[in-house]
Structure 1
Amino acid sequence: MLRETNEYRDFLCVNPVGALITPDSITHYFIKLLDENELPHIRFHELRHSCISLLANNTAFSVKQVQDYAGHSDFLTTSKIYIHAIQSADEIASNALEDKLKLEKRKDNAD
């Protein structure tokens, strides 16, 4: 049984009995969550990479917005790490524009 403590009462990351939550605790519970849901083991940090990749791949976000969200001080850091997602987003935007132009052309030809 865990003993309640007030030692860390001013901290944000404490468990229900008031003890500090450590990075190891987060890792432990994350692995437990993966196991309980029969999901493959990944590192917790990979969630950050996945999230930022999804943002970079979304044409609604600029690279600058992704950089700010990721907390990168340098634009090049974001570009280098997430270039695959940025290129994919560019391709999606290009294809959407091409489809729109084809639709407009067909519409004009039908008139």
Structure 2
Amino acid sequence: MIHIRKQEKFQAGSQWEWGDHLFLFGNEVGKPIRPDSMSQWWRRFTQKQNIKHIRFHSLRHSSATHLINKGVHAKVIQERLGHTKMDTTMSIYAHVIEEADQKSAAHFISFFEDKTVGGNSKI
């Protein structure tokens, strides 16, 4: 997304209103859109689509959690979230990463158990 905003800033040229700021939700000349506008739009969208409503900002956390659980590398998640430091991502999502790690360890336990059934260890 940041690349798209940089392209928009370049195309706007001298009409860009917000210096070096690249707001995720901004208009074509970089001016930020009011947060309550997005929240109101999101509420109407979820109602119209009959989707359980969650806060719009919670989509960010849901996305990160989903990516962690699918095994996406933490560096990729960090960049998608726009965190400048990996430590930020790791501290915010440490509990999710720990759960994913425990699930991963459980897969290895079952793998080794399958290989040693009946005393015919293949390891």
The two structures have a TM-score, normalised by structure 1, of 0.67
Matched, 1:47 2:59: yes
Matched, 1:85 2:81: no
Aligned to 2:47: 35
Structure ranking higher on relative contact order (CA contacts 8 Å, 6+ apart): 1
Matched, 1:74 2:85: yes
Q: What is the alpha-carbon distance in structure 1 between the residues aligned to residue 49 and residue 73 of structure 2?
A: 34
Q: Size of the alignment, in residue pairs?
A: 96
Once the 2 structures are TM-superposed, how far is the Cα of residue 51 of structure 1 from its aligned partner? 0.3
Name stretches of at least 5 consecutive residues in structure 1 with no aligned partner.
1-9, 15-19
Aligned to 2:108: 97
Q: Could you list the runs of 4 or more consecutive aligned residues of structure 1 that deviate by over 4 angstroms after TM superposition? A: 10-14
Bigger Rg, which one = 1
For the Cα contact (< 8 Å) 2:69–2:100, is it kept in 1? yes
**Percent of aligned positions with the same letter in both sequences?**
27
Cα-Cα RMSD: 3.0
CA deviations 1:27-58 (Å, max 9, x no partner) are 22211112223444322111011100111223
For the Cα contact (< 8 Å) 2:46–2:53, is it kept in 1? yes
Q: What is the alpha-carbon distance in structure 2 between the residues aligned to residue 39 and residue 104 of structure 1?
A: 44
Aligned to 1:5: none
For the Cα contact (< 8 Å) 2:115–2:121, is it kept in 1? no
Pair 1:21–1:36, CA change in 2 (3 A): farther
Pair 1:30–1:99, CA change in 2 (3 A): same
